[in-house]
Amino acid sequence: MNLKELSLQTIALPEKPGVYIFKDASGEYLYIGKAKNIKKRVKAHFTRPSEPKLEVMLQKVASVDYLVTRNEKEALILEYNLIKSKKPRYNMLYRDDKSYPYLAITLGDEWPRLILTRNVNIENAKYFGPYPRASSARKVVDSLLKIFPLCSCRGAKPGKKGATPCLFYDIGKCSAPCIGAVSKETYMSYVESVIKFLEGKNDAILAEFEKNMHQEAEKLNFEKATFFREKLRAATYVISHQRVMLDSKKDIDVIGSYSADETYIKILNVRSGRLVGSRGFVFPAFDIREAIENVFEKYYLLREDVPEEIIIPVEIDTKNAFEEILSEKKGKKVKIVVARKGFRKELIAFARENAMQSFYWYKFQGQSTLKIHSRFLEEVKEELNLTNLPLRIECFDISAFKGKSPVGSMVVFEDGRPKKSDYRKFKIKGNLKDDYQMMKEVISRRIKNYFEKKDPSFAQKPDLIIVDGGKAQLSAACKALEEAGELGTIDLIALAKGKERVYLLKKKSPLRLSEDSDTLKLLKRVRNESHRFAVSFHRKLEEREITKSILDRVEGIGRIRKRRLISLFKDIKGLKKASIEELRSILPEKVAIRLKEEIEKQ
């Protein structure tokens, strides 16, 4: 959008609270924002200096839409719901601080695990930390497992009778749901208890351990008394790693900030007076007030355990609106307090010090910054003569063995890094005879899914598509984009194996990049990941077919028994490992022996 067109559109914008929407020429949602004054906020986007990624977005804006609300609270809720449903590509501009290890409880699993991880994007996980040293974090995990024997590995499928538990079960650090040694109800009580313990609600647990220790000692049950004494020691060790911040038992979050060329926000979680965890976010050179508002919107609105009080360093315009929303979420009054004096001011100073230390760790010891990624992607764009900055790259590959069970794969890289949650597999439909037709079908289905927006992995349009192959594969992909009306809006290249030649649409001869080229290294990494993903999927399908064919040859195994065997043992490897006793849980003894003999022939 040029300045003249912008001025014409902004003149008509209302000076009222609401939500504004930036769209590109095709009507795709680029960015959704809230505003106290829609007109002023939209103008500010085009007048203030921007970070490179935002500048790219602003260049794509073709129209500005808006929705007026009665107040800021309604604007906040509307923005949140629109972002959640439309998933505009430029809204998630902050980065989580993943420099330090966290304790995570994987609540999304059927049997939640207690693990140490630097990945803060595990679905439905609850995090505690971070811990400055991985060694001390491992000791905390070790101590916690002595108190609450949760799984710390994936292990065998939970509930599978006859399996062998790992060493952790033998030393009392796992209750072994993998062999059915613990009921679901008991296990989930451990999960609930460890969460309460890490949130600082540990007085009752300590008192119970001490009481049981003394009672068993009085009964001369010294072995049991020692058991509870060790649990008490382990609990005390964990608590000693939670710094005492307040005498108060209130649940408080403290927000500290530090700004240099980027803005770093540090949230300290104080529960029952103890510092039990923290979370860091990096923003591209935001105004501190704007960064804090983003934290409220993208962190607190998603949380279930909202504290009673949130201390912030500066006043924000949306304070009252957020107080109202969070109070409704919690079911009781939530205060957002600006630190001006006393203990709150001391807490803010401590949070700011932590923000500064974490920022420099992030900057120089942790991940590369957004600017480094932007500069690198600018070089890729220039070297390949692309139209778009390749923020989102998708690579497609076809895998088939002797023409059987052909499959396609899609891997996704964002900001030069793999985004595995968006990887997808395609079973080739119809009786297609060559890679050309298969590649066309897969990319056509991918673009169709983009327009349907049923799967979030397809909700964003790629900036660059890479196909594994040469001119034929490039031509097939080109045809798919042309039929979908997307040719020209998405960059397209092919990368051939061997001499690593890059085929471009507008060039007859392939582009030869230097072996030392960072662009070539990125392309090879993306292509190799796509090939690996396609081959692994193809092998699983092949193995499944082999398993079915073996089961079909054994007399006494019908449709129902075949389904139960595949469900329990998965594939030929699982069947090979299974004992006659395990097979007899589904089959009569004679049929189990016949199946074992058939498997031995493979």
598 has a pLDDT exceeding 80: no
Distance between CA atoms of 457 and 477, rounded to whole angstroms? 19
Q: Which of 198, 213, 233 is the last residue of a domain?
A: 198
Counted domains in the chain: 5
Q: Do 340 and 268 fall into the same domain?
A: yes
Provide the b/e sequence for 545-566 (b: ≥16 CB within 10 Å). eebeebbeebeebeeebbeebb
Q: Which residue in 43, 44, 35, 37 sits closest to 11, CA to CA?
A: 43
Share of the chain above pLDDT 70, in %: 79
Structure tokens at 516: 């030392």
pLDDT confidence bin for 493, thresholds 50/70/90: very high
Domain, as residue range, for 449: 375-528
- The answer to whether 47 and 54 have CB atoms below 8 angstroms apart is no
- Residue with structure tokens 């403290």? 254
Q: Which of 513, 528, 543 is the last residue of a domain?
A: 528
Q: Is residue 479 part of a domain?
A: yes
Q: Do 84 and 122 fall into the same domain?
A: no
84-94 per-position pLDDT tens digit: 777 787 775 55
Share of the chain above pLDDT 90, in %: 10
Q: Do 259 and 341 fall into the same domain?
A: yes
End-to-end, the C-alpha distance of the chain in Å comes to: 65
Q: Is residue 230 part of a domain?
A: no
Look at residue 395 in the predicted model and tell me its pLDDT.
94
pLDDT confidence bin for 536, thresholds 50/70/90: confident
Q: Do 12 and 74 fall into the same domain?
A: yes
Q: Is residue 7 part of a domain?
A: yes
99 has a pLDDT exceeding 70: no
Q: Is residue 542 part of a domain?
A: no
Structure tokens at 11: 């003149």
Q: Is residue 549 part of a domain?
A: no
CATH number at residue 64: 3.40.1440.10
Q: Do 390 and 501 fall into the same domain?
A: yes
Q: Do 389 and 510 fall into the same domain?
A: yes
Q: Is residue 559 part of a domain?
A: yes
Q: What is the mean pLDDT of residues 38-55?
A: 74
**Regarding predicted confidence, which is higher, 425 or 565?**
425
Distance between CA atoms of 128 and 196, rounded to whole angstroms? 11
Q: Do 70 and 109 fall into the same domain?
A: no
Between the alpha carbon of residue 104 and those of residues 109, 263, 515, the distances in Å are 12, 26, 41
268 has a pLDDT exceeding 90: no
- Among left, alpha and beta (phi > 0; psi -120 to 50; other), residue 331 is left
Look at residue 136 in the predicted model and tell me its pLDDT.
64
Neighbours of 592 (CB within 10 A): 22
What's the maximum distance between 2 C-alpha atoms anywhere in the chain? 89
Q: Is residue 242 part of a domain?
A: no
Q: Do 398 and 522 fall into the same domain?
A: yes
Q: Which of 157, 173, 198 is the last residue of a domain?
A: 198
Structure tokens at 6: 């912008």
Q: Do 352 and 390 fall into the same domain?
A: no
Q: Do 439 and 295 fall into the same domain?
A: no
Distance between CA atoms of 372 and 377, rounded to whole angstroms? 9
403 has a pLDDT exceeding 80: no
pLDDT confidence bin for 465, thresholds 50/70/90: very high
Distance between CA atoms of 313 and 257, rounded to whole angstroms? 8
Q: Which residue in 522, 318, 270 sits closest to 415, CA to CA?
A: 522
Element spanning 333, H or E: none
Q: Is residue 243 part of a domain?
A: no
Look at residue 1 in the predicted model and tell me its pLDDT.
53
**If you average pLDDT over every residue of the chain, what do you get?**
79
Q: What is the mean pLDDT of residues 288-294?
A: 86
Q: What is the mean pLDDT of residues 136-156?
A: 76
597 has a pLDDT exceeding 80: no
Distance between CA atoms of 80 and 100, rounded to whole angstroms? 29
Look at residue 233 in the predicted model and tell me its pLDDT.
72
**Regarding predicted confidence, which is higher, 507 or 97?**
507
360 has a pLDDT exceeding 80: no
- The answer to whether 262 and 284 have CB atoms below 8 angstroms apart is yes
**Regarding predicted confidence, which is higher, 28 or 577?**
28
Q: Do 336 and 356 fall into the same domain?
A: yes
- The answer to whether 481 and 467 have CB atoms below 8 angstroms apart is no
Q: Do 133 and 26 fall into the same domain?
A: no
Which of helix, strand or coil describes residue 600?
helix
What angle, rounded to 10 degrees, do the helices at 222-240 and 203-218 form? 160
Between the alpha carbon of residue 255 and those of residues 100, 345, 346, the distances in Å are 18, 11, 12
DSSP state of 144: H
Q: Which residue in 207, 268, 275 sits closest to 239, CA to CA?
A: 275
